[in-house]
Structure 1
């Protein structure tokens, strides 16, 4: 109970998030941290002028998905008001592969890929699938070799947290594919057609209407022209969506249309909006710079600001446009559809009307002249949204070929061991076949597929069970999960033998070390039966120690799990700090003299596999009455010491090498068969007796 309480307190502490001063350390000037927006660790991001420009939050608070250590990966995410990632930084994690394997550098490089992307993008980690291009297609993030599962967990944490913020603070920013102009539609339209079909919008405000908005302020008397002629137009604005070619061709002259099409061929995700103003307002101030955002024009959709900027295209209208428009202020603004802007849905255009009060240091006041606009659906098409696969589906897709090869190998190996073990063990080439199989396990399952099982996974599962977390992290590595499924299925059929004897890459490496030692004629150290049994208990002590660390000091679990040399020898292929390499090399050098010393005496995963072997439902190694008394040949030949003097198989220590099966079925090796054959020869034949 004390352990559970400690874990609960630790979990709650991590869920509270970092204090303000710690988060401020991650904010890069001139940006600064504003006020806390809720009790979930969401903060304001302020620009140099003190205006809100985005949101800052931690993933471990918003979406505490457990990693392979059992603890969440905590990252700081900075979003702008449009849902675009400004930064993602690593705060804290306990992922074993990064803590003491690859180091944090590749993890941080992975997180740098989010800058500039939007939560509206369909982002995936792994092998691309679906069509490329603009619109609703996918954005691919390069994973980290040997750590794909960990970065997928990080990716899902980032998205889950960001979408929470979007729903709560951005009124649910669009995450689907935007509507795109249907280029196949080509309607011959005139200017009058545009007006009649409401394809061009006219927004008007009189001086009197603007005066009413300023009424009661210090600026109410600061526009003499409005007071002198209240019925005159202050704003006479014409707005047209130039995305559909039919509308653009009807509004613009030929040269401007050609220039616009060239612009759109380069900026394929931009939506162009034409604005022509013929009255007093003029759309821009004297300080306006081309190709920037107009300071008097703003747009919103779904409660979110729509970033608009000048497309820097000189505009000439079509000949049949009214003369007043030819003399007005015309500009084409552009906005990015990938940020969620959809011209077919209502969006709010706000034109700012300004007045100044005072002579020497005038005070500027403004009011908003609003209009709700939209474009007809018939000119647009909505590409089928690429369905975003679940993390498990994405992982399977990216490892599809490897999983197929692994499946075929398992489909061959398991039936042969289940139904044809005696046939296999009797082959003259059995030893080369076994070594070839182990070479495939080492090369394909281990170094290539990164399918080396580790005690870290069961310990993380235990920690998740104690803290009530999610087991989703098990799905992020389908290749390793497939090996786990095979190993667990093997418990029922053979005990620990299938994994430890045939599917463990480091076990295969140890067995190769033994054969190399024999080829070099190195002396082989034989452990006495008494000490062999004593040393075999050490692995259970190691397992118990790791369980204790997981319960009482989970933050140190990744270091304690380094008792396994798997990460060094298999996962990172010996590219680590020298002391980890020396430790792994020690066991391989020892394996030249002592048969699979680590596997037999210290491996905590082997201890767990031995315990799991209690699920075994059958005794699959054939025995005779004479086994053990008087015959001891199998026991003497068993390198694992898994046969008792009585001839009984100790299945908790059996690695399924099949050497004893070979002896049992060979009339030239099995002592009872040899004696029976000699007895048969000495027995007189019926013909001779007659």
Structure 2
């Protein structure tokens, strides 16, 4: 009988009364103490918590604000990352400091220091610069238009969320206050607009623009400098830059500019990244667009863009470009700009390309000059929405891990075939155990340490908190690798129960299984709780899960600390690179695993409790059974290391880890007692007894 809904809602309401309200901007007294000297706090200019700052003479000198009210992008705990940003009147970061967050990897994993250090890198940088989290490809030099901020290893997604929060909030303040005008929502290509076009017509009407700069003009830019004589000998009238620009967002322009194969690839790209505006560049001069160190699908190192004085983030779309007949020849590439971050393709914008020269042969000094061109596409190709939708930039995270996701998807598909239609063949092969251990080794190395795909109860608690507070679940998309593992685990609920994840996809569970095999090799004593204690201990994980869920409502600030009951962060996420107390805790479970088979998974793991509850969705009993299972045969029950088979032969799927040992016994005429007896029974006609048929 389904429980009534009203008492459940009332219970949640009572627990939710302990939850803090959404964070409000700091009061004046607290904010004034955080303003960096010699500046002081002025007056509020925006109800979202934007204040002026005053210089030592009392004149307005910039703005100070929190990121959460302006850009509440949720982190992995479901709560936004809140930072305090101070901008001067020219848009330079005077100070950026972390105020609050609940990112699990920093709460008790890597510690707070690396996260605070990340925010310190903004000081002195300008919002007019193209700020990128990561490291430059090739040798870093002065020839790049990008400003790199060092990320934090093993916390890429959290740092990306923090960076997007700072930029989104800073650009909002710059648009509304530094320029004195709040821009309308960015336009998007009109899907209903179409017109016949070809390259010649687009060039004549200015739909595509051409920009030429000669070698002589570039030489004039370097005149009188250290690099005046470092350019190659060239005809002064020859083109150094011969650049065509076309906005491929409008379908009519893309169809006229691209060959059919490239157009089809662009259409597929739009389905994945609907908010990105693709920009086609064709360069027939000597500039060449990028350096030899350029890596596809990254920000181009010699090209930057801006609109209204604010930077526009450009990245390579990683598409092979073949142009349509009639288009000019030259090096072609497609860049992408995210309209959600303020880029409006219907208004003029500026492209800046760097001309680079090197002086000297040993550790040469690099000099650059900016070549600035403008482009605008007619408004007839676009529509302007009434309001922009604030969506997280998940597409970049998805494309950035495309190779890993492809490999994971193939692996999951293969595992699904092996455990589905191929299960009994796998269980019947003499090398079933080595094959299983090989798969678990890949899970530890690829899914765990490389892919950082260890699922955690923290995600479950973050979802609960977000659901209760009515937040945005977009934070899950910042880690598409783990999301794909979650999808496989949830699909496994229907097909197998908890066994697919707990038995085959959990990196820490795999480590415990290796610890068990090591213990058998070392002939260590085995710890086997009695049947009564086994039942009692298995209930412990449900009590721990209930306590963690209650903490979400009663003590949300310390949920990440309570979640350290899981050793996953230590053993997998940080690779045992943590404080000794956490390392000792994780190692203790692995050491115990050499004697007590997967003790943490069976008795303590709160995520395992979630998986067991999810396993109630199981649509079938997939483990074959016979009428004789349980009476008289008890072999499967005796050999089951998880204690998941009852005396009657019935499978307790909530405790089954899908190791396939019982399937192997069931199909083996040398082990299965009913099959052995059937083969030995004497027959007057000397015909063998028929094999006992499975009942399920």
The bucket for the TM-score relative to the shorter chain is: 0.5 to 0.7
The structural deviation recorded for 1:618 is 1.1
Matched, 1:85 2:93: yes
Matched, 1:382 2:399: no
- Partner of residue 621, structure 2: 619
Contact 1:120 1:339 in 2 (8 A): no
Q: Distance in 2 between matches of 1:506 and 1:492?
A: 23
Indicate the SS of the match to 1:25: helix
* CA deviation map 1:81-102 (0-9, x unaligned): 2333332111122211111110
The structural deviation recorded for 1:22 is 2.6
* Counterparts of residues 423-502 of structure 1 (less than 5 Å): 423-502=425-504
Q: 2:107 aligns with which of 99, 103, 112?
A: 99
Contact 1:82 1:339 in 2 (8 A): no
Q: Distance in 1 between matches of 2:230 and 2:469?
A: 54
Contact 2:82 2:100 in 1 (8 A): yes
Contact 1:537 1:601 in 2 (8 A): yes
Contact 1:66 1:73 in 2 (8 A): yes
| Deviates most, 567-576 or 421-430 | 567-576
- Partner of residue 529, structure 2: 527
Contact 1:120 1:173 in 2 (8 A): no
Q: Distance in 1 between matches of 2:502 and 2:430?
A: 23
Distance 1:4 1:75, change over 3 A: farther
The structural deviation recorded for 1:465 is 0.7
Count of matched residue pairs: 514
Matched, 1:73 2:81: yes
- Partner of residue 25, structure 1: 33
- Partner of residue 71, structure 2: 63
Matched, 1:112 2:120: yes
- Partner of residue 146, structure 1: 154
Q: Distance in 1 between matches of 2:307 and 2:593?
A: 59
Matched, 1:258 2:223: yes
The structural deviation recorded for 1:685 is 3.1
- Partner of residue 38, structure 1: 46
Contact 2:602 2:642 in 1 (8 A): yes
Distance 1:257 1:475, change over 3 A: closer
Q: Distance in 2 between matches of 1:338 and 1:600?
A: 56
* CA deviation map 1:239-276 (0-9, x unaligned): xxxxx987x99xxxx8x98238969999xxxxxxxxxx
The structural deviation recorded for 1:158 is 1.5
5+ residue gaps, structure 1 = 187-243, 267-335, 343-373
Matched, 1:639 2:647: no
Point out the structure with max Rg over C-alpha. 1
Contact 1:135 1:338 in 2 (8 A): no
Q: Distance in 2 between matches of 1:532 and 1:144?
A: 42
Distance 1:3 1:665, change over 3 A: closer
* Counterparts of residues 252-401 of structure 1 (less than 5 Å): 258-259=223-224, 340-341=308-309, 381-382=373-374, 391-401=393-403
Contact 2:391 2:474 in 1 (8 A): no
- Partner of residue 663, structure 1: 665
* CA deviation map 1:47-82 (0-9, x unaligned): 222222211111122222222222221111112223
Contact 2:19 2:556 in 1 (8 A): no
* CA deviation map 1:605-651 (0-9, x unaligned): 00000000011111111111111111110010000011111111111
The structural deviation recorded for 1:138 is 5.9
Q: Distance in 1 between matches of 2:144 and 2:531?
A: 67
Q: What is the Cα-based RMSD across aligned positions, in Å?
A: 3.7
Q: 2:602 aligns with which of 600, 623, 631?
A: 600
Contact 2:73 2:392 in 1 (8 A): no
Matched, 1:678 2:680: yes
5+ residue gaps, structure 2 = 1-9, 187-208, 232-303, 311-347, 352-370, 378-389, 689-696
The structural deviation recorded for 1:588 is 1.4
- Partner of residue 360, structure 2: none
TM-score (norm 2): 0.67
Indicate the SS of the match to 1:649: coil
| Deviates most, 656-665 or 31-40 | 31-40
Contact 1:8 1:467 in 2 (8 A): no
- Partner of residue 225, structure 1: none
Q: Distance in 1 between matches of 2:515 and 2:525?
A: 13
- Partner of residue 591, structure 1: 593
Contact 1:88 1:115 in 2 (8 A): yes
Q: 1:52 aligns with which of 38, 49, 60?
A: 60
- Partner of residue 246, structure 2: none
Distance 1:480 1:32, change over 3 A: same
Q: Distance in 2 between matches of 1:493 and 1:97?
A: 32
Q: Distance in 2 between matches of 1:486 and 1:26?
A: 46
Contact 2:452 2:482 in 1 (8 A): yes
Q: Distance in 2 between matches of 1:637 and 1:565?
A: 28
Q: 1:506 aligns with which of 505, 508, 515?
A: 508
TM-score (norm 1): 0.68
The structural deviation recorded for 1:495 is 0.7
* CA deviation map 1:545-580 (0-9, x unaligned): 001001111111111111111111111122222222
